[in-house]
Amino acid sequence: MMFLISRYSFLSMNLEFPSALQSNLVELQSYYQGQIDYASSQLAHVKALLQSSTAPTVALEPVIEKAVVKDITPPTPKQKAKPAIFSPSVPAVPVVKAPAKGKAKAKVVKTKPSDILPLRTPYLGLILLDAIAKVLKNHEGQKVNADTVVKELHGELSAELFRKAKERVTKNLSKGKIEDRWYSVPGQTGFYTISVDKLTS
């Protein structure tokens, strides 16, 4: 009882509290005032019972409950919640626009080697292997290399076109030799003949 009165007296002192704590202080004072009033009424009731000759059995209510004191720390200012940034769980699918009606699609035309390196008149319409076989047949009994075949098939070419034509002819000369369409000249790399037995030079 004395503890509550002294606690109340301490809180009732003219202390300067921060303005943020004023509302908590008022609530605290009101709470303890109620507890003191309740304790005083209970004490008066007990005294009246003790003074009477026959004191009836009275179940006394607990005089003071444990005080629940609010935390009087200043409230922290509420921060505005930042809007959450959501990353899409499904990757965005690129939108493919359909071609507009009436517009023709651009066709990719592949250039054939024969378009860049056309064959001369005697070899027109032949595939390269057959054209090379015809060149070797025309030079039967002679040894023929890739340079001779290119000149026979295409005539005079620029340096760049001659290099490309020679690469194609060299590959096909090797292929025809593997397929036994013609033969390499023994002891002379890069030379071929349609018949080894008929070589004269």
- Looking at residue 144, the DSSP 8-state letter turns out to be B
Q: What is the pLDDT of residues 9-45, one digit of tens each?
A: 544 455 555 566 666 777 778 788 888 888 888 888 8
Whole-model pTM: value is 0.45
CA distances from 5 to 14, 29, 41, 90, 186 (A): 16, 11, 14, 67, 128
Report the C-alpha gap between 201 and 198 in whole angstroms.
Answer: 9
Q: What is the pLDDT of residues 56-111, one digit of tens each?
A: 554 545 544 444 445 455 556 555 555 544 444 545 555 556 555 655 565 655 65
Question: In this predicted model, which residue has the larger pLDDT, 108 or 1?
Answer: 108
3-state DSSP call for residue 192?
Answer: strand
- Tell me the backbone φ, ψ of residue 193, rounded to 5 degrees: -150, 155
